Structure formats: C-alpha cells, structure tokens
C-alpha cells in the first residue's frame, strides 16, 4: 500500500510504502542505495516534512473528520434536493468523510468537469490517480454500475481548507450547469428521438392521423 505525502498537505514528490514482511519488492530504477530499492541519496528534508504532515493529520483527524463530514453531507443533500436523476456511487455510510461520488444521468462527466472548472470548482471524473484518463472508472465498473451511470460520474473531495461558503457556491452553481448540459446532451437528444418515433405527433391530443382519416372516409 502506498501513501502520498501531498494527500496529507505534506511535500510533493515523497511518499511511503507499506509492504508485508516476506514480500519481495523489485526496484523500478536500479542502482546504488543502502537498501537497494532506489538509487541516489535519500531526500531527508521531504521525508521529515512527510513525517510532520502525518503527525499533524493524526493529531487533528477526529475533529476534521467530523467537520468535513458535515460539509460533505450538506453538499450531498443539497445536490439530491435540487437536481433530479442523481445516483450515489458507493455505500451510503461506509465511506470516507471527505469524498462524494455521484452520477448525474443524461450528461457525461467530462462535460460537467469542464463547465465546473470554468466556474472555479475542481472535481474529478474518476479516482485521483486516473483523473487525466477518459476511460470509465474501473471501480464503478467492478461495482456493476451501468455504462451511462459511470460516464456521468463526478467526484467531489473536500479537505482542510473547504468552508461552508464553498459548499454553498457549488450548490448554487451546479444545478444551472446540469440543466444547460441536459438540454444539449447527445444522450438526451437520442432519448427524445426514440420517444418521437414511438409516439408520432399526429396522435397527440387524441387526433386521428391525416392518412387514417382519408382511409376511413373511403371505406364509408
């Protein structure tokens, strides 16, 4: 299991590896080094910074978890209240307090990401390590989610500097973006075409289609 320092607000470019005893690790880059796992001199300053970040995170973990969970729950309830056809991805209780992964149907997550970014709101469409990829999330795929759910998924991650005002801004901004994208969504247009084919306009309001009226008149 790997742990990234920057996820704990520590220095970038440093991390930790937890390996079970007896597991043989093959180096990615061969060379010198006391432990023969990585060549070059160890980055002592970053290691010390990482250690301090872990210490501070552990010290404030309980209080921050409670605070962030309240903000996450407020965000979740607000989204489900103001936007129809939204699905929660994952367990409703057994999850991290700082993460919210949802699928907004009839829209692609990539389109939402771009529009939210334009408004200064940063979200992801997959896991953080795969945020640059357009491939469907392998986690949501493994959960058995339908294709359209997976491609409409976005991930909100709250953190140390997230405030109540930030959540309010998202709740104020997101519904308008969803409404706009649904109007122009290829998925939505495809569904509308199917409905139009299955329900011809001539039958709207109980009126008999023109070609049937002619046929009925001839039979008389």
Mean pLDDT by 10 residues, the chain (220 residues): 93 92 82 68 92 95 96 98 93 93 90 94 70 65 76 92 97 97 75 48 40 47
Residue 210 has what pLDDT?
Answer: 43
Residue 209 has what pLDDT?
Answer: 40
Residue 213 lies inside a defined structural domain of this protein:
no
The pair phi, psi for residue 101, each rounded to 5°, is: -115, 120
Residue 143 has what pLDDT?
Answer: 76
Residues 6+ apart with CB under 8 A from 37: 25, 27
Residue 207 lies inside a defined structural domain of this protein:
no
3-state helix, strand, coil in the chain (%, to 5): 55, 10, 40
**How many domains, the chain?**
1
- Which residues on neighbouring strands pair with residue 122, listed in sequence order? none
Residue 197 is among the residues annotated as catalytic for this protein: no
Global pTM value: 0.74
Residue 215 lies inside a defined structural domain of this protein:
no
Q: Are 161 and 131 in contact (CB under 8 A)?
A: no
Residue 16 lies inside a defined structural domain of this protein:
yes
Residue 218 lies inside a defined structural domain of this protein:
no
Residue 200 has what pLDDT?
Answer: 43
Residue 206 lies inside a defined structural domain of this protein:
no
Residue 135 has what pLDDT?
Answer: 66
Residue 217 lies inside a defined structural domain of this protein:
no
* Bridge-based pairing state of the strands 15-17 and 2-4: antiparallel
Residue 206 has what pLDDT?
Answer: 41
For residue 163, give its domain range.
2-200
Q: What CATH number does residue 9 fall under? A: 3.90.1150.10
Q: Which of 114, 129, 184, 212 is catalytic?
A: 129
Q: Are 11 and 56 in contact (CB under 8 A)?
A: no
Instruction: Give the count of alpha carbons within 13 A of 146, CB side only.
Output: 9
């Amino acid at each position: 299991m790997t742990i990234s320092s920057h996820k704990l607000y520590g220095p970038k470019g440093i991390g930790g590896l937890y390996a079970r005893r007896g597991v043989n690790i093959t180096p990615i880059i061969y060379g010198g080094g006391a432990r023969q796992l990585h060549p070059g001199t160890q980055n002592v300053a970053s290691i010390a910074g990482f250690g301090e970040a872990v210490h501070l995170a552990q010290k404030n973990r309980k209080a921050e978890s409670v605070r962030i969970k309240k903000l996450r729950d407020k965000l979740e309830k607000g989204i489900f209240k103001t936007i129809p056809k939204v699905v929660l991805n994952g367990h409703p209780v057994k999850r991290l307090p700082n993460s919210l992964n949802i699928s907004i149907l009839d829209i692609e997550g990539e389109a939402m990401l771009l529009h939210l970014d334009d408004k200064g709101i940063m979200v992801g469409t997959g896991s953080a390590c795969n945020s640059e990829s357009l491939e469907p999330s392998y986690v949501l795929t493994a959960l058995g989610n339908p294709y359209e759910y997976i491609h409409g998924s976005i991930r909100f991650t709250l953190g140390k500097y997230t405030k109540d005002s930030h959540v309010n801004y998202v709740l104020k901004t997101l519904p308008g973006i969803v409404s706009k994208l649904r109007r122009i969504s290829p998925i939505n247009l495809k569904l509308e075409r199917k409905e139009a084919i299955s329900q011809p306009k001539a039958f709207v309001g109980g009126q008999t289609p023109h070609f049937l009226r002619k046929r009925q008149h001839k039979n008389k």
